[in-house]
Amino acid sequence: MEINILTVLNIINRGKKYFFIVFISTFILSTIVAFLLPVIYGSTAVLFPLSPKSYDPRTKFSYLELYGSVEDINRTVAMAESGVIRDYIVKKYDLAKRYEYDTTKAADAYYLTQEYHGNLDVKETNKGAISITFYDKDADTAALIVNDVIEQINIINKSIIIDAIQKQFKTYKKVMQDKYNGLDSLAGILNAMKAQGKSPSGEVASMEMFHAYTRVKEAEVNLEAIEDDVQTVQVIERAVPNWKKEKPKRMFLIASACFSTFMITLLFLLIKDRKDFDEISG
C-alpha cells in the first residue's frame, strides 16, 4: 500500500468521527490540566562582573581596567549556579518545604536540587552582561532570591581577597612580634629607631623595622577597605517583583496536546488501514 497525501486525506475523511471525538476529549482534558497548573512568575537582574584587580585594595590604584574579562564572566556564572549559593538559598527560603520535599530522603534531596536549578536561569547576554532569573509561585520571593544570589556572589568574591589579606596581615604581625617584640605604634617604632643609634648597621635595622611596621599597617588598612561595602559586580538592573505570568503557557500546552493527539490518531489509522489492506491482499 502506497502512502501519499491523497491516502492521508482519505483516511482523515473516513475517520473524521474518531478525530472529532479524540480532539474534543484532548481539548477538554488539556484545558483542565493547563488551568490547574500553578502560575509561575519570573524576576530578572542584569549585572556586569568587575575585574578583581579593580576592587582589590592592593591593586585598585594601579589598575585601569574596570570591567572583567571573559574569564570573570564565566567565573561569575559558575558561582551563581554553584552548590554553595544553592544551599544558602534553599536553607534561607526553606525551599524543601516550599517545594514539598523531604530532604531526609536521598531521592527527595536530589529532586529538590533539580527543581532549584530548573527555576534558576543564568546566562550571558549578547552585550557581555550576565542575566540571572528565578521562577517562583510568588513574584516577591523570586525577586528576593535573585538579589540574594547577587549578594552571595559579592560575598564570595570579597572573601577570596579578605582571606589573602588576612594571611598577609598575620604573617607581618608575626614578624613584628618575633623580631621587634610586638611594637605596634608609630611612636614606639620611632623610639626604637632612635635607640638604634646612627651607625650604618643601626640605620639598616631601623629601616627594616619601619618597613615591617608599614606592611602591617598597610595590610590592616586593606583589610578594613575590602570589608567595607565594596561591590565586586555592577548591577545595572536589580530584580523587582514582576507579576506578569511566565508559566504555564496555557494556549501553547493545549495546542501542543491537540496537535500531538491528532498525529498519534492519524498514525494509528494509517497503521490500521495498512494492516487491513495487507490482509485483503493476502
State whether 115 and 67 are in the same domain: yes
Owning domain of residue 238: 38-247
Kindly indicate the confidence band of residue 191, based on its pLDDT and cuts at 50, 70 and 90.
Answer: low
State whether 10 and 116 are in the same domain: no
Each residue of 268-282: pLDDT tens digit?
Answer: 777 776 665 555 555
CA 70, 72, 78, 81 dihedral sign is: negative
Residue with cell 542575566: 131
Spatial distance between the Cα atoms of 48 and 237, rounded to a whole number of angstroms: 10
State whether 164 and 206 are in the same domain: yes
- 47-51, 66-70, 157-161, 236-240: the lowest-pLDDT one: 66-70
pLDDT recorded at residue 1:
47
State whether 278 and 216 are in the same domain: no
Spatial distance between the Cα atoms of 30 and 205, rounded to a whole number of angstroms: 85
Question: What is the average pLDDT across 105-127?
Answer: 93
All three cell numbers of 94, joined, read: 526553606
- 41-45, 82-86, 95-99, 193-197: the lowest-pLDDT one: 193-197
Return the higher-pLDDT residue of 95 and 216. 95
Count of domains observed in the chain = 2
Each residue of 138-156: pLDDT tens digit?
Answer: 999 999 999 999 999 999 9
pTM of this prediction? 0.70
Each residue of 48-59: pLDDT tens digit?
Answer: 999 888 888 878
All three cell numbers of 139, joined, read: 513574584
Each residue of 198-221: pLDDT tens digit?
Answer: 545 555 456 666 667 777 777 878
Determine if residue 130 is left, alpha or beta; phi over 0 gives left, psi from -120 to 50 gives alpha, anything else beta.
beta
State whether 130 and 200 are in the same domain: yes
Q: What is the CATH classification number for the domain harbouring 152?
A: 3.30.1890.10
